Structure 1
Amino acid sequence: MDLRDEVVRDAAAGDPHAFRLLYDAVAPRVLAYLRARGVDDPEGLTSEVFLAVFPRLPRLEGGAAGLRTLVFSVAHARAVDDVRRRQRHPVSYPYEPDHDDRVVASAEHHAVESLEAGRALALMDRLGEDQRAAVMLRIIGDLTLEETAGVMGKTVPAVKQLQRRGLEHLRRLMTAEGAR
């Protein structure tokens, strides 16, 4: 996520080219974060995040670091809202094989590619909410400790502790899973 303060400043001043550069630099990390959080429509929610951030740009302080904190604060809040919405109104769709026209790679190819990532994400579901958020924001979101603390509304030492404990818990879970 290589984003210069000048690009953020120009985007805040209304330069559409600078906003595009800003979006191209940050959106893939936001999308990955939202996918890892399991939101229903990560692409749509990524767009919503930037629609919410755009009007706030003129008041933004802190350059690129401030922008990342703002963007992931909004993304985190939207992900939490999505989880709450799904808990209130769970949606279930019946599978209809006759209407499934998706084309995918072979099962073997898919399994080999996604086994470890899927295993890690499944194990992350067994972490506490704060530990999971800290680990995802730090690793998937590529945020600094300070930025993560800002997004989560916690202190830097608290985020360090959450990340450390979350990674230790994941390591124990992966070791236990490997032993089976």
Structure 2
Amino acid sequence: MNKAVGHRRAQAYDAELGAAVERAQAGDEDAFEIAYRMVQPGLLGFLRGLVGEDAEDVASDAWLEIARDLGRFRGDGAGFRGWTAVIARHRALDHLRRQKNRPRGSLIEQDLREMPGAQDTAGEVLESLATERALELIATLPQDQAEAVLLRVVVGLDGPATGRVLGKRPGAIRTAVHRGLKRLAERVTDTAARAEGGSR
């Protein structure tokens, strides 16, 4: 998929999300459910990268806060994704403090494979396998790089929005994403070289 098509799809997605959020703020419960279904897969993937198996519990806590404070939110669809990511990250950090644990590796379930998209079944299978492997690799990165990559790639936030979620300048986010992706590329290359050497 070229960049222009991906950008148009993201804009349409964010426009639909923004409209659902606006209706939900006016009391439309069905619209809140639509917004939830659009945001939850990416949010859950982000949380799995932070808290592992406890992601669903943390997401539930985050959604309670999101529902409670929905009337205070101001912004569009992209802003809503960023706002929910901030809330989810705070709940994840609270959870980790309570557990006195460091972030654990991510676990991949069907939720990430259900992100909106219009692909054929074979394409979806290949993409889910690639996504699963990518998230396993992302979990091996230092926390700042893993969070930045997860927010940019899984949640789909832009650089400034990712910076707001993590409380960092956009330049620091660009650096973390660049370093994280560079490490991932090196690990993929190393894995491929080992696999090729083992098949001889």
TM bracket (short chain): 0.7 to 0.9
Assess, with a 3 A threshold, how the Cα gap between structure 1 residues 144 and 122 changes in structure 2: closer, same or farther: same
Q: Is the 8 A contact 2:50 2:92 kept in 1?
A: yes
The within-5 A match list for 1:97-116 is none
Distance of 1:61 and 1:14 partners within structure 2: 15
- What corresponds to 2:114 in structure 1? none
Please list every run of 5 or more consecutive structure 2 residues that lacks an aligned counterpart in the other structure.
1-9, 103-125, 195-200
The within-5 A match list for 1:155-166 is 155-166=169-180
Percent identical among aligned pairs is 35
With 115-124 and 33-42 compared, the bigger mean Cα shift is at 115-124
- What corresponds to 1:136 in structure 2? 150
Q: Is the 8 A contact 1:7 1:19 kept in 2?
A: yes
Distance of 2:136 and 2:37 partners within structure 1: 29
After TM superposition, the score normalised by the length of structure 1 is 0.74
Q: Larger C-alpha radius of gyration, 1 or 2?
A: 1
Map Cα deviations across residues 7-50 of structure 1 (whole Å, 9 max, x no partner).
21221222212211111111121122222334333222222211
**2:173 pairs with 1:151:** no
Which of 15, 18, 21 is matched with 1:5 structurally?
A: 18
After TM superposition, the score normalised by the length of structure 2 is 0.68
| Deviation of 1:130 (Å) | 0.9
Q: Secondary structure at the match of 2:33?
A: helix
| Deviation of 1:116 (Å) | 5.5
Provide runs of 4+ in structure 1 moved above 6 Å.
112-115
- What corresponds to 1:102 in structure 2? none
Q: Secondary structure at the match of 2:100?
A: helix
RMSD (Å) for aligned C-alpha atoms: 2.6
Q: Secondary structure at the match of 1:40?
A: helix
- What corresponds to 1:34 in structure 2? 47
- What corresponds to 1:167 in structure 2? 181
| Deviation of 1:139 (Å) | 0.9
Q: Is the 8 A contact 1:34 1:46 kept in 2?
A: yes
Distance of 1:6 and 1:117 partners within structure 2: 29
- What corresponds to 1:63 in structure 2? 76
- What corresponds to 1:178 in structure 2? 192
Instruction: Give the number of the structure whose residues are more often helix, by fraction.
Output: 2
Assess, with a 3 A threshold, how the Cα gap between structure 1 residues 179 and 80 changes in structure 2: closer, same or farther: farther
